[in-house]
Amino acid sequence: MVKGLLLPCLILLIVSLESTLSVLQLNSSLRLSSSINKPSFVGSNKPYKIVCYYYAVEAWYRTSRGMFLPEDIDASKCTHIHYAYTVLNSETLLMEPSDKWAEIDNRFYERVIALKESNQGLKILLSIGGWSEQSDKFSTLISERLNRKAFIDHAVTFLLLHGFDGLDLAWFYPVCWNGDCRSQNVHSEDRENFGHFVRELKDAFDQSESRLLVTATVSGDPMIAKRSYDFTALSRLDYINVMTFDYVAHWNQMTGHQSPLFSQPGFPVDLNANSSLHLYMSRGIPSRKLVLGFPSFARSFTLVDSNDHGIGAAVKGPGDKGEFTLAEGLLAFYEICDRIQKKGWKLVRNSENELFYTYYNNQWASFDHPFSAALKAQFVKQLNLGGIMMWDIDRDDFHGNCFGIKFPLLTAINSILVHGKSVKMVPGLI
The tens digit of pLDDT for each residue in 105-128 reads: 999 999 999 999 999 999 999 999
Report the pLDDT averaged over residues 274-292. Answer: 98
| 87 alpha-carbon distance from chain centroid | 19
CB-count exposure of residue 131 (10 Å: 0-12, 13-18, 19+): exposed
Q: What is the pLDDT of residues 154-179, one digit of tens each?
A: 999 999 999 999 999 999 999 999 88
Categorise residue 17: left if φ over 0, alpha if ψ from -120 to 50, beta otherwise.
beta
Report the pLDDT averaged over residues 20-39. Answer: 32
pLDDT of residue 398: 98
Are the beta carbons of 428 and 282 closer than 8 angstroms?
A: no
Are the beta carbons of 417 and 269 closer than 8 angstroms?
A: no
Report the pLDDT averaged over residues 31-54. Answer: 58
pLDDT of residue 46: 73
pTM score, whole prediction: 0.90
Closest CA to 428 of 89, 6, 1: 6
Cα–Cα distance measured from residue 395 to residue 335, given in angstroms and rounded to the nearest whole number: 9
Is the pLDDT assigned to residue 62 strictly greater than 60? yes
Among 34-38, 334-338, 352-356, the range scoring the smallest mean pLDDT is 34-38
Is the pLDDT assigned to residue 26 strictly greater than 60? no
Is the pLDDT assigned to residue 235 strictly greater than 50? yes
Domains and CATH numbers, the chain: 35-298+369-417 (3.20.20.80)
Report the pLDDT averaged over residues 74-102. Answer: 98
Is the pLDDT assigned to residue 348 strictly greater than 90? yes
Report the pLDDT averaged over residues 185-208. Answer: 96
pLDDT of residue 100: 96
pLDDT of residue 21: 25
